Structure 1
Amino acid sequence: MPTHYPMDAAANIERYRALDSWRGICACMVALFHFDVISHLSFLPLTRHAYLFVDFFFVLSGFVIASNYRSRLAEGFGIGRFLLLRLGRIYPLHLVTLLLFIPVDAAKDGIGPNLLQAVVTNLLLLQGLGVNPQNWLNFASWSISAEFAAYVIFAAVVSRIGPTIWPWLLPIIAGPIVLATISPDGMNATYDYGLVRCLYGFALGVLSFDLRERFTVLRARLTPFGETLLETASLLLVIGYVSAAGRSAALQVASPVVFTLVVLVFAREAGAVSRRLTMPFMLVVGTLTYSIYMLHPLVRAVVRAILMVVERLGHTNLFVSSALSSGHEPTKVVSVNGSLWLGDLLQIAMLLLTVLLSVATYRLVEEPGRNWVRRLVDRRKVATVRRAQPAFDT
């Protein structure tokens, strides 16, 4: 699930702009992976295993949340206040996509107990915690559920125990073992072992922030050439790793570790790659990450529905049975007249449509929802301060 930055208006929020752009790129790669189109893009090893980019979101989330909230939660910031701010960031768009998906799933599978369970669990943000037998409604939202659970655990641990690192070692040790040996889909765990996957990456993000604070060498700048070399090596590592990761479960479970290295390198923002990532266009894509991630399943569903209608009316075959990802069962994927090039064009068009819709949802849903919760939290804070002030007789 993509990273969602803290939104306390009174806080001095540290931004990591290059990492913002990184998460935007990762969201686009996840979208290409989910579009299920026969194309050159889909057959690229980097796209075939792009589900692993979700783990970048979890690692970055742990890093940024620890950066901006660990000390303040330990000093009494308030669990309720923290969680309300997080809800204000993730819930408005989640609710909108949920409402849009209800008629889609009702038309596909009918109205019954499964749909009711799906709606209730999604409303309560439980859909990624193993309570459902499959992904229902917006299939991408499992990560939002798991990430909010990680926020709850983070706030409880830091508020009760303090900014220590030892509680985070448990998911870092147990996570890869569970995902490699128990999870039926390995590192592609979603509704079933999604929380384990999320906590594994989130804990590594918290650990990486702690290490960065403790060891100045992780923040000390190299020469411009050295920083560029380091960033280029990290970029090539990600491309090579994700491209090859489908070969074994043992290799897949290293994805959060790989992305932890990326976060530590690009948090420095000192090389030529970071300069490219902080160009205005890239920062816009980074800003739209959450909307891109949450809307691409809806774009996929609508496009597939349209193509099914065209297939019936035109008496042609636009779907074939194929497993675009290694280790997965064959499913119905789009094939545009058997042309890989037309498939590329369709995938790119779907991605561009997702980005354009994301501009609208960011402005009409994300920002207004976030700002409304900010104001609510600020009003509650002012009211609490006033109640705490002693009253004096005049």
Structure 2
Amino acid sequence: MSANSTNLATKPHYPILDGLRGVAAITVVAYHILEASTTNTLTQAINHGYLAVDFFFVLSGFVIGYAYDDRWHKMTIGGFFKRRLERLQPMVIMGMLIGALCFYFSDSPAWPNIHNVPVWQLLLVMLVGFTLLPIPPSMDIRGWQEMHPLNGPGWSLFYEYVANILYALGLRKLNKPALWLLVMVAGAWLAYYVITSPGGDVIGGWALDPVQLKIGFTRLIYPFFAGLLLSRSIKPGKLNKAFLWCSILLLALLCVPRLGGQEQRWMNGIYEAAAIIIFFPLVVYLGACGEVKGKAESKICKFLGDISYPIYITHFPFIYIYAGWASGHRPLDLKEATVYGIITFTVSVIVAYATLVFYDEPVRAWLRKKLN
């Protein structure tokens, strides 16, 4: 391993931010389960769970800036991309593999043409999914217009890679005033978009069409580069019980009920703009200012941080199964839906932890030896 990689590996990190990433990831799983079992998005519990993606983008920008901004005198662009691929790509492949298996064995009225998909086409979509390159609507084998129909959340990893490319190829060189200008313009556009959008929300970004691409880039640019700016501006203090208070604040932001109803959706747009532009960077700042106290809190933050990415990128194939079951059993029996929802959640956690321990960590350790 090179000296550069050693320095990067041993650079201190923020364990509370790791823990918050896990809190957000687990909330996403619960949100998707509840989403699949309801027909009314206006009254859904954990109503704003989808905003966890925007929180992830803020975290990502902060972590990328902190980890790499001061390394470019030693590190090449190729070296940066190798590190990002090493970190992200193994679980992308695992998520697509699980998605392909679940698709092949699925049977639900939610996807009436699923058994007409030839195996060669399923394998082709899986192989393209390994690269995270988005597929066009003509290759959609599920019918939900996803750029990754075997594992829907792959869309956000696609934008994660886009942000990394933009950062590495030039935007990392922006000085602080220029970065402030970019963040302010992106924030103004984000606020305008979400407040004036027909739905009064930022939901979308997962399809390869002009409307969805606009949503995806709107959701990406401000949060990621606001996180980058925060990493360059922060002067951490010492906040007691930061993990607890930041977790409560983050959960509250994600669980706020839908505002404005059907008639005044702009009210919900104002809330989402405020959450993304103001409160998510605030949560990251407070988390970075905090200190982990005691072994128990340290272990919790580590576990949540370790499992955050695996659970996010592997849980959705099981959501497809749950959603398929729910679509064929409406109106749902509350007890039955709760039992199957708990099973889905439990399976998601177990699979995520198993793939972390027996696949992701060993593969990344092997890649570090081979690529450095």
**Category of TM-score, reference length = shorter chain:** 0.7 to 0.9
Where does 1:21-60 land on structure 2 (aligned, <5 Å)? 21-36=19-34, 38=37, 47-60=46-59
Corresponding residue for residue 117 of structure 2: 111
Q: Which gives a bigger RCO, structure 1 or 2 (Cα 8 Å, sep 6+)?
A: 2
In structure 2, what is the Cα distance between the partners aligned to 1:360 and 1:54? 23
The counterpart of 1:149, out of the listed 139, 158, 162, is 162
Amino acid at match of 1:359: Y
Does the 8 Å contact 1:55/1:201 carry over to 2? yes
Structure showing greater Rg: 1
* Aligned-residue offset at 1:370: 1.6
Tell which deviates more after alignment, 112-121 or 59-68: 112-121
The yes-or-no answer on 1:262 pairing with 2:283 is: yes
SS of 1:189's equivalent in the other structure is coil
Corresponding residue for residue 220 of structure 2: 198
SS of 1:35's equivalent in the other structure is helix
The yes-or-no answer on 1:125 pairing with 2:135 is: no
Cα distance change of structure 1 residues 180 and 242 upon mapping to structure 2, 3 Å threshold: same
Cα distance change of structure 1 residues 129 and 283 upon mapping to structure 2, 3 Å threshold: farther
Deviations 1:58-105 (A, max 9, x none): 1111111100101213x2511111111111111111112213323544
Gaps of 5+ in 2: 207-211, 260-267
Tell which deviates more after alignment, 81-90 or 165-174: 165-174
Q: TM-score normalized by structure 1?
A: 0.72
* Aligned-residue offset at 1:15: 1.8
Amino acid at match of 2:163: A
Cα distance change of structure 1 residues 355 and 255 upon mapping to structure 2, 3 Å threshold: same
In structure 1, what is the Cα distance between the partners aligned to 2:136 and 2:228? 21
Cα distance change of structure 1 residues 235 and 357 upon mapping to structure 2, 3 Å threshold: closer
Deviations 1:222-270 (A, max 9, x none): 6xxxx44x77665554344333363212211333231110110011224
Q: TM-score normalized by structure 2?
A: 0.75
The yes-or-no answer on 1:293 pairing with 2:312 is: yes
Cα distance change of structure 1 residues 176 and 377 upon mapping to structure 2, 3 Å threshold: farther
Cα distance change of structure 1 residues 79 and 34 upon mapping to structure 2, 3 Å threshold: same
Cα distance change of structure 1 residues 304 and 181 upon mapping to structure 2, 3 Å threshold: closer
In structure 2, what is the Cα distance between the partners aligned to 1:117 and 1:176? 39
* Aligned-residue offset at 1:146: 0.8
How many aligned residue pairs are there? Answer: 332
RMSD: 3.6
* Aligned-residue offset at 1:141: 1.1
Corresponding residue for residue 311 of structure 1: none
The counterpart of 1:80, out of the listed 71, 78, 82, is 78
Where does 1:335-350 land on structure 2 (aligned, <5 Å)? 335=332, 338-340=333-335, 342-350=336-344
Does the 8 Å contact 1:70/1:158 carry over to 2? no
Does the 8 Å contact 2:322/2:340 carry over to 1? no
Where does 1:221-240 land on structure 2 (aligned, <5 Å)? 221=238, 227-228=240-241, 234-240=246-252
SS of 2:258's equivalent in the other structure is helix
In structure 2, what is the Cα distance between the partners aligned to 1:277 and 1:375? 32
* Aligned-residue offset at 1:300: 2.3
Gaps of 5+ in 1: 1-6, 309-316, 322-334, 379-394
Where does 1:210-221 land on structure 2 (aligned, <5 Å)? 210-212=232-234, 216=235, 219-221=236-238
Does the 8 Å contact 1:38/1:343 carry over to 2? yes
